[in-house]
Amino acid sequence: MLFRSQRPLLGVSGSEDAGGVRVQQVQPGSAAERAGVKAGDVIVRADGRDTPTVDALRSAVGGVDATKQQYDLVVKRDGNDQTLKVDAPRQARTQPRQPSGAPQQPARPGA
C-alpha cells in the first residue's frame, strides 16, 4: 500500500508570549476557526504538548497522529484555560492498482 501524508494545519498566525503563542490572526475557514480559536488567545498546549514557542506549536500540530479525528488545544483566554477540540485531517490513503480482472476489495472504514 502507498500512503500520502498530509501535514496538519491549524490556521493561525501568532507570536511568542509568556507561556505560549499569542494568536494574532485566525485564518477564515481554518481548523482553528472551526474550533473557536480567537485573536488574543494564548495557545499553551496542543495534543498534550506544551507550546512555549511558535516552533513548539508547529512541531506539536505537525506531530499529531494522522489517524486522529480531533486533538485538544488548550488556550488561555481572559486568564482562564479553555480546552478546544480541533479537527485533525486524516491521512490520505492511496491503494495500489489491482491487476485487470482481479476483484476489487472495498476499503474498510478506519483502515
**1-60 tens-digit pLDDT:** 344 444 568 999 999 998 899 999 999 999 999 999 999 999 999 999 999 999 999 999
pTM score? 0.73
Amino acid making up residue 66: A
**Residue of 80, 12, 21 whose CA lies nearest to 53:** 21
pLDDT of residue 37: 97
**Residue of 10, 1, 18 whose CA lies nearest to 87:** 10
Q: Residue 107 above 60 pLDDT?
A: no
Higher pLDDT, 44 or 108: 44
CA distance readout (Å), 57 to 1, 45, 106, 107, 110: 31, 8, 37, 34, 27
pLDDT of residue 18: 85
Q: Residue 105 above 60 pLDDT?
A: no
